[in-house]
Amino acid sequence: MQMKPYRIGTRGSPLALAQAHETRARLMAAHGMPEEAFEIVVLSSKGDRITDRPLSEIGGKGLFTEELEEQLSDGRLDIAVHSSKDMATTLPEGLGIIAYLEREDPRDAFISPAAARLVDLPQNAVVGSSSLRRQALIRRLRPDISVIMFRGLVDTRLRKLADGDVHATLLAYAGLKRLGKAEVVTELLDPESFPPAPGQGAICIEARLDDALVAELIAPIDHAGTHAALLCERAFLGVLDGSCRTPIAGHATISGDRLAFFGLILTPDGTVSHEVRHEGLASEAAAMGAAAGAEARAKAGPGFFETWS
């Protein structure tokens, strides 16, 4: 029996804390355990501390997980809770994603006082976004729009928008819902024309792969459909690099025992894109995602990826 509290590691942003509290609440409900059986441990990440430069310039996705993974590896944490889209495709030795909570709505949210829809923004409007995927998709839809780097917490970005720094911004709808801010959304973007980032909307739990006690603790809150979808999406990412330097979109949906995947890769300016679609058994999710990634690479040809460097 574990006598001390299970230690749940998280970043300190309001959204990260909401995700950690959701994980704790699900574990309490699944096992009939009291709140004091779990301790939420807040760590500051480099990705949170450095907000004046694009992630691609300062080290990529690992900047959001490095401190958490260090304490997970040496046993100071039992699990770490992350936004799945922040996770690198290659994790530190001995660590792995062991569960995914049921996915929230994966769509992107357009937020603007200047137009009811993204496509209706005024000519030469300015949109703030730190995501290369969103930047490329915006440019594909509206080449006249100027997209500027826009990092920081959700409230920071919304304040910059209210102050008139930009005409619009885009955020993950799932994050806004978890923060109780769904009412700020102007338009929810169609995942066919504006596909989400792989992993968007899904909370994942990382742990030591040799910790059988933690695996048993977490198993009841793992959502099978979300897990299969994310295996597919992360395999697609893995074949295509999947760093913060690359505009990649991918979304898998589950219906019964079937999985359907839609993937898209773009040049950063949005002028060239290649899409792939795969369908098959959900039990073959990872293989399907890898096959989709290989197909996208073949369609694009080697010269296409030089634009990502």
Q: For the segment 255-282, what is each residue's pLDDT rounded down to a tens digit? A: 999 999 999 999 999 999 999 999 999 9
Residue 71 lies inside a defined structural domain of this protein: yes
> Average model confidence (pLDDT) for the chain?
91
Q: Does 134 share its domain with 152?
A: yes
Q: 108 with 171: CB under 8 angstroms? A: yes
What band does 58 get if pLDDT is binned at 50, 70 and 90?
A: very low
pLDDT of residue 152: 82
Regarding whether 156 and 81 lie in a shared domain, the answer is no
- Say if residue 94 is in the same domain as residue 207: yes
Q: What is the pTM of this model?
A: 0.91
Percent of the chain with pLDDT over 90: 83
Of residues 103 and 241, the one with the higher pLDDT is: 103
Residue 193 in domain: no
Up-side HSE of residue 177: CA atoms within 13 Å toward CB? 15
Looking at the 3D structure of the chain, how many domains does it have?
3
pLDDT in tens, 175-227: 999 999 999 999 999 999 999 999 999 999 999 999 999 999 999 999 999 99
Which residue range forms the structural domain that includes residue 155? 108-188
Which of 48, 78, 86, 108 does the annotation list as catalytic? 86
Residue 239 tokens read as 């074949």
Shared domain for 164 and 145, answered yes or no, is: yes
For residue 306, pLDDT beyond 80: no
CB-based contact 132:266 (threshold 8 Å): no
Q: In the chain, what are the helix, strand and coil shares in percent, each to the nearest 5?
A: 40, 25, 35
> In the predicted model, what is the mean pLDDT of residues 287-307?
90
Backbone angles phi, psi at 203, to 5 degrees: -90, 135
Identify whether 222 is a catalytic site residue: no
